[in-house]
Amino acid sequence: MNWIANLLLFLLLWLGGDALYLACNHGLAPNARLQQLLRYLAASACAVAPLVLTQTSPLQPALLLVLAVAALWMVTYPLTYHLTHRKAAPDYDHQIDIAFGIYLVGWLTGAMVLLPAWGALWGILMFALAFVPMAEWVYYATYHAVIDDNGMKIVQETDYNEVIEFFHSYPLWRVLAVAAMLTLAAAACIGIPILWPVGRGATEVWRLALVTALTLFETVYLWKTRHGLFIRTGIAELFQEVRTYVANNRDYTLQQQQRLATLDVTPLHPSTAETHAHTVVLVIGESASRDYMSAFTPVDVETTPWMSELKRDERHCLLFPHAYSCDIQTVPTLERALTEYNQYDGGAFYSSCSIVDVAHSLGYRVHWYSNQGTLGAADTPITLVAETADVARWTLQRLNQEQYDESLLDFLDEVDPAQKNLVVLHLIGSHFNYENRFPAHCRQWGSPGNHDRVVNYKNTLHYTDSVLHRIFDYAHERLNLSVMLYCSDHADVPDRRRMPNFGGFLDTHIPLMCWLSEEYISRHPERTAALRKNQQSYWTNDLLYELFCGIMDIRSNRFREENSLASDSYRFTREDLTVIRGTIRIAEDTYDTYDKTST
C-alpha cells in the first residue's frame, strides 16, 4: 500500500504547493500560474521518487519530520510577506521558496534512504534548516511584519553586546519561551532520526543507484551558489542584497568623501546662488515608451492628455522627440543618468559625482521619494545615490498603504516651500505586469480582467500622465516650482516579451520633457535658449546629469558643458550617440523617423 501513500504525498506537494502559491502572491500574470503549476509538478515528482524507487513508506517519523521542515520553508517567507503587504503592494511573486521546500523533501528523503544510520547528521542538518524559518516567525511575531532590508541590516551589523541588550529589553518569560521552542525543535530534529531511522523497502543496487543519482542532482540544483534554488529564496536573496549593499556602501562612502573634497561648483549667474525659495522636480519614469505616448507620437488614443495640453505652451514646456535610454535595464541606465559616469567619457560609478552632490553644493535640500524597491543586489547603485539625499523614503516602507505611483504625492507634504529644494520622484510607471500599475478606477480602455498587454500598457501611460499632472499642480501651487524634468529609465515594447539582452531600438525610445517657470526663463535666458535650440537634438539619458547641471546654470570641474542639452555648445549628433555601453550606434535605428535627406 506504499504506492497509495506516495501518490497522496505527490498530490499534496504538487497541488498544495500550487494552492499556497496562488494564496500568498498577488497580481500574478496569467502565464505565471501555469509556469508554477508545471514547476511544482516536476518538483513533486522528484520529491517522491526516492520513496517510489525503494518502495518506502512516507509514514515514518523521520520522513514526517522532513515534511515539517520543508513545509516551514514553503510557507514562511511567502506567507509573512503576504500578511505584511497584501493591503498595499499591487503585485509580488514568491515562487522559489515553495519549489525549494518541495525539492528539499526529495533531497533529504533520498539522503536518509541511502544512509539511514546517519540519523544524528540528518537531525542536525534538519534543525539548521528549520532554524531559519523559525527565526523569521519570531521576527514576525515581534514586529508584526516580514523581515525587510532594515531588519536584515540590523541582523548583519549587530555585535554581541547589542544582541544581549536586545534580549534584555524583552520580558524574561518571552525570552525563555523562544529558548524553550528552539530547544524542543532541536531535540525533535536530532532525536527522531536517531530513535526511528528510516526503514527502506527495496534495496536492490539499481534502485539505490537511481536514488543516488537523483540525490546528487538535487544537491547541485538546491545548493549551487549561482542560480541554485536556495540562493533564490526570499530570505537568502534579502541576505545577499543587504550584504552587497553594505559592502558597496563602504566603497561609495569612501569615494564620496574623496570626490566631494575636490568638487568645485560655481553658479554662472548670481541668481543661482540666491536663497530665494523654489523647487526643482525630477521625475524618473519606468518603462515608458514615447512611441505609445500621444504627446510624442500619433497613436490611436490619447494616452497623455495632460502632457499633450502642456505641450501647446511652447514658451514653458519643451518635449524632446529624439531621446534614447543608454541601456535597456534600470540599473545600468540610472547609475549613469544620475551621475557624471557615461558612455562617452569613461570613469566609474563609485568615483562619480551625482545630481545630489551638485544640488547640495548649491545649497538645495534634496528629497528622494521612490515607488520602487528600497535596495537590492541589482539596484544598489540607485539606492546609494538616493540615500545621500537629505530625505530618502520608499513606499514599501509604509505598510498598509497602496503603492500606486500617486502615493508619492503624500510625501510632498514634507517638502518645505520656504527652502530651495530638489525633489526626485522615482515611479514604477509602466513596469510589467501592466495591469497592476494603475488603480481599477483609472482604467481607460479594456474591461477589468482584460489581459491585453498593449491595452494595459496604454492604461499605464495614461495613469502616469495623470500622476505627473498632480505632481506638477502640487509643486506649482505650493512649492514655487521652478523646473520640472521627466525622463524614463528605458522603454518597453508591450506586444513583445521582455528580453534580457538588446532586442532593438524600440526598448530605448524614451520620453524627455522639461517645463520651465517664467521666473526661471527670466533669470536664465541663455539656458532657456539653448534648450529650445536643442529641442530636436538627439540625446541619451546617461547625459541626464549634464542636463541637470546645465539647468542649474553652473560651472564645475565635474561637469562637461558640451555634454549638456542646456548648453549652446552641445556637441552630440545622431551619428555620435550610442546605447548599451557604447556598443550600438543610434544611427542604426531603423525605427527612427529622422529624415536623412534633410541634412
Look at residue 161 and tell me whether its pLDDT is greater than 80. no
Most confident range, picked from 242-246, 247-251, 356-360, 595-599: 356-360
Instruction: Assign 451 to helix, strand or coil.
Output: coil
**Is the Cα torsion angle 170, 174, 180, 182 positive or negative in sign?**
negative
Q: What pLDDT is recorded for position 378?
A: 59
- Give per-residue pLDDT as tens, 534-561: 999 999 999 999 999 999 999 999 999 9
Q: What pLDDT is recorded for position 467?
A: 98
- Give per-residue pLDDT as tens, 33-88: 899 999 999 999 999 999 999 999 999 999 999 999 999 999 999 999 999 999 88
Q: What pLDDT is recorded for position 596?
A: 42
Please report which helix (H) or strand (E) contains residue 374, including its range.
none
How far is residue 479's CA from residue 409's CA, in Å, rounded to a whole number? 13
- Give per-residue pLDDT as tens, 471-521: 999 999 999 999 999 999 999 999 987 776 798 999 999 999 999 999 999
- With a pLDDT cut of 90, the percent of the chain lying above it is 76
Average pLDDT value over all residues in the chain: 92
Look at residue 598 and tell me whether its pLDDT is greater than 70. no
- With a pLDDT cut of 70, the percent of the chain lying above it is 94
Confidence class for position 522, pLDDT limits 50, 70, 90 = very high
Q: What pLDDT is recorded for position 347?
A: 87
The full DSSP string for 265-318 is EEESSHHHHS---EEEEEEEESS--GGG-TTTS--SS-S-HHHHHHHT-TTTEE
- Of 323 and 160, the one with more pLDDT: 323
Give the pLDDT mean for 246-250.
Answer: 80
Q: What pLDDT is recorded for position 67?
A: 97
Q: What pLDDT is recorded for position 164?
A: 63
CA-nearest of 315, 280, 283, 310 to 525 is 315
How far is residue 270's CA from residue 273's CA, in Å, rounded to a whole number? 5
Give the pLDDT mean for 519-541.
Answer: 97
Instruction: Assign 394 to helix, strand or coil.
Output: strand
Give the pLDDT mean for 319-323.
Answer: 98
Give the distance, in angstroms, between the CA of residue 49 and the centroid of all CA atoms in the same chain. 37
- Give per-residue pLDDT as tens, 217-227: 999 999 999 88
Q: What pLDDT is recorded for position 250?
A: 78
Is the backbone peptide bond immediately before 2 cis, with ω within 30 degrees of 0?
no
483 φ, ψ (degrees, to nearest 5): -140, 140
CA-nearest of 218, 2, 26 to 109 is 218
CATH number of 277-589: 3.40.720.10
CA-nearest of 216, 218, 193 to 45 is 218
Give the pLDDT mean for 310-314.
Answer: 97
Look at residue 156 and tell me whether its pLDDT is greater than 80. no
- Give per-residue pLDDT as tens, 359-408: 999 999 999 999 987 766 556 889 999 999 999 999 987 777 788 999 99
Look at residue 358 and tell me whether its pLDDT is greater than 90. yes
Q: What pLDDT is recorded for position 291?
A: 97
- The dihedral region occupied by 288, where left means phi > 0, alpha psi between -120 and 50, and beta the remainder, is beta
Beta partners for residue 554, in sequence order: 267
Beta partners for residue 509, in sequence order: 324
User: pTM here?
Assistant: 0.84
Domain ranges for the chain, please list them: 2-241, 277-589
Q: What pLDDT is recorded for position 20?
A: 97
| Side chain identity at residue 414, one-letter code | E
Tell me the angle at which helices 234-262 and 61-85 cross, rounded to the nearest 10 degrees: 50
Instruction: Assign 581 to helix, strand or coil.
Output: coil
Look at residue 271 and tell me whether its pLDDT is greater than 70. no
- Written as nine digits, the cell of 300 is 490611436
- Give per-residue pLDDT as tens, 175-197: 888 889 999 999 999 999 999 99
- Give per-residue pLDDT as tens, 97-138: 999 999 999 999 999 999 999 999 999 999 999 999 999 999
Q: What pLDDT is recorded for position 597?
A: 36
Q: What pLDDT is recorded for position 167?
A: 62
Terminal-residue alpha carbon distance, the chain: 83
Look at residue 440 and tell me whether its pLDDT is greater than 70. yes
Q: What pLDDT is recorded for position 272?
A: 47
- Return the number of other C-beta atoms located less than 10 Å from residue 240's C-beta: 15
- Give per-residue pLDDT as tens, 5-22: 999 999 999 999 999 999
